[in-house]
């Protein structure tokens, strides 16, 4: 989920520190307001919902609500539609990614479990990721690693982001 997908009056959010908030309009800006009434402007977040000032306010989950949700036990009825997946690379995985040719920007796994690296962002096909007129290479030597990368992932992983 990206910042531009968030809708005031529709989404709840959960911060890294565990606080819950609702997205509202406040003087023309979209803000996240927690249950104490404290708020934070959405402009303080990057496109990936990371808070530019304090990472304890990073958005970790997004849920939807409607009028029925607001009538009862509010937080028990939230339909969480997105949760941040945080990945901890092993030392070996980090070393490998730091040392591959910098032209490779993406990594993904095909339906059969084979691991590939790509220059351009691939598009998910029926059984494989399409290389999009770019270069892709087998990463088969390391298929036993990067177990968090699954065929079921909707997008490939950016190597640069994994290394952050």
Tell whether 40 and 64 lie within a shared domain: yes
Last residue of a domain, one of 49, 83, 117: 83
Sorting pLDDT into bands at 50, 70 and 90, what band is 150?
Answer: very high
Tell whether 78 and 98 lie within a shared domain: no
Q: Report how many helices (DSSP H) and strands (DSSP E) the chain contains, helices first.
A: 3, 12
pLDDT digits (tens, 9 = 90+) for 17-65: 888 888 888 777 787 777 667 777 888 898 889 888 888 889 999 998 7
Tell whether 9 and 71 lie within a shared domain: yes
Tell whether 102 and 150 lie within a shared domain: yes
> What CA–CA distance (Å, rounded) separates 101 from 46?
28
Percent of the chain with pLDDT over 90: 40
Tell whether 97 and 144 lie within a shared domain: yes
Last residue of a domain, one of 83, 104, 129: 83
Tell whether 105 and 69 lie within a shared domain: no
pLDDT at position 69, please? Answer: 52
Tell whether 61 and 101 lie within a shared domain: no
Tell whether 47 and 77 lie within a shared domain: yes
Sorting pLDDT into bands at 50, 70 and 90, what band is 159?
Answer: very high
Would you say residue 96 has pLDDT above 60? yes
Tell whether 65 and 103 lie within a shared domain: no
Look at the chain and report how many structural domains it folds into. Answer: 2
Tell whether 45 and 69 lie within a shared domain: yes
Last residue of a domain, one of 33, 64, 83: 83
List, as own/partner pairs, every contact residues 146-151 make where C-beta atoms lie below 8 angstroms and the sequence separation is at least 24, other chains included.
Answer: 146/93, 146/107, 146/109, 146/115, 148/85, 148/87, 149/107, 149/108, 149/109, 149/115, 150/109, 151/109, 151/110, 151/111, 151/113
Site of tokens 């927690």: 34
Tell whether 55 and 100 lie within a shared domain: no
Q: Which of the pair, 137 or 92, is modelled with greater confidence?
A: 92
Tell whether 17 and 40 lie within a shared domain: yes
Name the residue range of residue 149's domain: 91-162
> What CA–CA distance (Å, rounded) separates 36 from 17?
14
């Amino acid at each position: 989920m990206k910042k531009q997908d968030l809708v005031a009056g529709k989404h709840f959010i959960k911060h890294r520190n565990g606080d819950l908030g609702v997205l509202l309009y406040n003087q023309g800006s979209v803000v996240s307001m927690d249950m104490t009434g404290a708020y934070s402007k959405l402009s303080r977040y990057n496109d990936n919902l990371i808070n530019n000032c304090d990472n304890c306010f990073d958005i970790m989950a997004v849920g939807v609500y409607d009028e029925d949700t607001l009538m009862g036990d509010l937080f028990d009825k939230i339909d969480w539609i997105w949760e941040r997946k945080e990945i901890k690379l092993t030392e070996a995985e980090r070393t490998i990614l730091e040392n591959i040719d910098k032209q490779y920007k993406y990594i993904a796994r095909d339906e059969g479990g084979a691991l590939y690296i790509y220059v351009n962002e691939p598009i998910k096909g029926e059984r494989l990721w399409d290389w999009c007129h770019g270069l892709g290479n087998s990463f088969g030597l390391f298929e036993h690693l990067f177990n968090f990368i699954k065929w079921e992932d909707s997008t490939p992983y950016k190597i640069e982001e994994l290394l952050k």
